[in-house]
A and B are shown apart, each in its own frame.
Chain A
Amino acid sequence: MPYPELLEYAISLLIIASAIVAIEVRDLVRTAISFSIMSIAIAIAFYMLGAPYVSAFQLAVNAGAVTVLFLALLHVIQKRRRS
């Protein structure tokens, strides 16, 4: 077996834990960050499963672009709400 099983369990746990944090935490910025962590963990899982290109794409799009999109939206909303 090329990878130790323990690491797989750890990463699965990280994915699930960060997903739960992402939906349960009240602050939306933390939600976005937690979502990003989940995406990174999934990217690691992709890499371990022998799909390095997908992993890179996942990092770029989900952990990067989508999270930035969320943060930008939150920023706009908060700015509007203040004014």
Chain B
Amino acid sequence: MIYSATAMALILIGIYCIATKHNMIKIIIGIEIICAGVNLNFISLAWDGQQSDPLASSVVLVSIAIGAAIAAFALAFVMNAFKQTGSSDARKLRRLRW
């Protein structure tokens, strides 16, 4: 149960980070923190006191891989943005209206 609470805290921290930070790398860290929180929630719900449900394990394995893929993808975006603006500050990308 405590890990479920921790997972929720992680998700909130991640959303806070994305909402307030301007550095694109920080934003990606925020996404990864949310991802970790969701995974933690899955595993903590799969635990019945004696053993863990293998279904949740397989879900989380794939989810970790997906999280890593998203991170790699987002970092590629940062590279491209950096090539154009010379900065990893998301505020430089504010020509679009958020």
Touching in the complex, A and B, CB below 8 A? yes
Per DSSP, are chain B's interface residues mostly helix, strand or loop, or mixed? helix
Band of interface residues on A: 35 or more
| CB proximity to B under 8 Å, residues A33-83 | 35, 38-39, 42, 45-46, 49-51, 53-54, 57-58, 61-62, 65-66, 69-70, 73-74, 76-77, 80-81
Band of interface residues on B: 35 or more
Cα distance A31–B88 in the bound complex, in angstroms: 15
Q: A-contacting residues of B (Cβ < 8 Å)? A: 2-3, 5-6, 9-10, 13-14, 16-17, 21, 23, 25-26, 28-30, 32-33, 36, 39-40, 43-44, 46-47, 49, 51-52, 56-57, 60-61, 64-65, 67-68, 71-72, 75, 78-79, 82, 86, 88
